[in-house]
């Protein structure tokens, strides 16, 4: 690595409350005491490295050698059905369910903010890079399918309820 400062990005795609890596580092035995672990942000890390005014190499071209991280070239078309399901759910939720719920609210139906936010969060969780590009294990994709089906079916039922509220006196 070109510097002694190595970014170790924390976080999980599918985990709302990941474990604290600082706690694991503090409890680990046999780690060289010269190694320090600092929690920071990507922007602060860049500022730290720039402040040291190092002469770093410029790397050009494809950066998917796999030397510093695994890459999965050619996955843009894997499990295409997940991308279709993602589109259909987002389209139904944001173009139909929420706008019609707003009109139904004007007609007296309660607006279920938590429900729409929950569905949107589920869609965002399904959209993380290892999932939507199709390189996760089968169980992850099966869970994604279940979530998409549930969101789609629930949003479609919500559209029908909103239409009933809007057209109730029609």
Domain ranges of the chain: 1-58, 76-166
Give me the pLDDT at residue 128, please.
Answer: 82
The hierarchical CATH code for the domain 76-166 is 1.20.1270.50
Give dist(CA 58, CA 37) in Å, integer. 26
Give me the pLDDT at residue 70, please.
Answer: 58
Once rounded to an integer, what is the mean pLDDT over residues 94-101? 98
Give dist(CA 47, CA 98) in Å, integer. 41
Q: Is the pLDDT of residue 117 over 90?
A: yes
Q: Is 59 helix (H, G, I), strand (E, B) or coil?
A: coil
The pLDDT mean for the chain works out to 85
Highest mean pLDDT among 7-11, 44-48, 74-78, 88-92: 88-92
Which tens digits make up the pLDDT trace of 13-55?
556 666 777 787 788 888 888 888 888 888 998 899 889 888 8
Identify the residue with better confidence: 141 or 61. Answer: 141
By percentage, how much of the chain surpasses pLDDT 70?
82
**Phi then psi dihedrals of residue 167, to 5 deg:** -100, 10
Query: What's the pTM?
Result: 0.58
Give me the pLDDT at residue 103, please.
Answer: 97
Report the half-sphere exposure of 132 (CA within 13 A, side-chain side). 15
Give me the pLDDT at residue 139, please.
Answer: 87
For residue 165, count other CB atoms closer than 10 A to its CB: 19
**Phi then psi dihedrals of residue 74, to 5 deg:** 85, 10
For residue 97, count other CB atoms closer than 10 A to its CB: 26
Q: Is the pLDDT of residue 8 over 90?
A: no
Q: Is the pLDDT of residue 75 over 60?
A: no
Give me the pLDDT at residue 80, please.
Answer: 87
Give dist(CA 100, CA 155) in Å, integer. 11
Q: Is the pLDDT of residue 9 over 90?
A: no
Sign of the dihedral defined by the CA atoms of residues 153, 155, 158, 162, in that order? negative
Give dist(CA 136, CA 60) in Å, integer. 29
Give me the pLDDT at residue 170, please.
Answer: 80
């Amino acid at each position: 690595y070109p510097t002694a400062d190595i970014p170790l990005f924390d976080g999980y795609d599918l985990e709302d409350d990941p474990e604290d890596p600082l706690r694991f580092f503090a409890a680990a035995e046999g780690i060289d005491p010269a190694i320090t672990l600092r929690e920071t942000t990507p922007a602060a890390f860049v500022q730290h490295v720039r402040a040291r005014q190092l002469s770093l190499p410029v790397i050009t071209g494809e950066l998917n050698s796999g030397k510093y991280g695994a890459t999965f070239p050619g996955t843009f078309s894997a499990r295409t059905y997940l991308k279709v399901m993602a589109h259909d759910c987002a389209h139904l939720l944001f173009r139909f369910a929420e706008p019609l719920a707003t009109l139904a609210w004007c007609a007296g139906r309660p607006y279920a903010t938590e429900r729409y936010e929950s569905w949107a969060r589920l869609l965002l969780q399904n959209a993380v890079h290892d999932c939507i590009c199709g390189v996760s294990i089968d169980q992850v994709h099966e869970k994604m399918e279940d979530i998409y089906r549930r969101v789609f079916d629930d949003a479609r039922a919500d559209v029908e309820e909103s239409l009933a509220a809007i057209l109730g006196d029609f």
